[in-house]
Amino acid sequence: MHLRKIVYEQDARETELRTQLAETERRLIVVTRDLEESRSFVAKEDSDAKELITAFNDVNEAVDDLAYLISEAFDQHDLSFALADETIRPALAVVPDFLKSLLKVSYKNDGAVEDVLGPMICCLLHCNLFQHIFALWSPGISSGRHHACLSLYELVRAREPQDRAARWRSMTYQNCDPGRDDARLAATIAETFFELLAASVKPLLPESSTFDFTALAAKFTSTVNKIALNAIRLQDKAKATYLSFDYEFFLAQYGVPFERTTYEASDKVTHWKFQRSSDTIPAGEYQDIILAPTALGLLATKGTLGPKGEISRSVKVVMRAKALVGRCTYVPRSPTKDEPPPNQE
Q: Give me the residue spans of the domains in the chain.
A: 2-331
Identify the pLDDT of residue 342: 45
Identify the pLDDT of residue 183: 97
What residue type is assigned to position 10 of the chain?
Q
Identify the pLDDT of residue 343: 46
- Which of 324-341 are b and which e, b meaning 16 or more Cβ less than 10 Å from the residue's Cβ? bbbebebbeeeeeeeeee
Identify the pLDDT of residue 191: 98
Identify the pLDDT of residue 338: 46
- Tens place of pLDDT for every residue, the chain, 345 residues? 566 666 566 766 777 767 776 766 666 665 555 455 445 444 444 445 788 999 999 999 999 999 999 999 999 999 999 999 899 999 999 999 999 999 999 998 889 999 999 999 999 999 999 999 999 999 999 999 999 999 999 999 998 989 999 999 999 999 998 889 999 999 999 999 999 999 999 999 999 999 999 999 999 999 999 999 999 999 999 999 888 899 999 999 999 999 999 999 986 554 677 777 777 777 777 888 999 999 999 999 998 878 777 888 899 999 999 999 988 888 776 655 444 444 444
Identify the pLDDT of residue 201: 96
CB neighbours of residue 134 within 10 Å: 21
pTM for the full model? 0.80
Cβ within 8 Å of residue 158, ≥6 positions away: 311
How distant, in Å, are the alpha carbons of 245, 315, 336 from that of 275?
Answer: 41, 33, 16
CB neighbours of residue 253 within 10 Å: 12
Contact 298, 247 (CB under 8 A): yes
Task: State the pairing for strand pair 321-331/263-265.
Answer: parallel
Element (H, E) at 135: none
Identify the pLDDT of residue 132: 98
Identify the pLDDT of residue 17: 63
> Which residues on adjacent β-strands are paired with residue 264?
322
What residue type is assigned to position 140 of the chain?
G
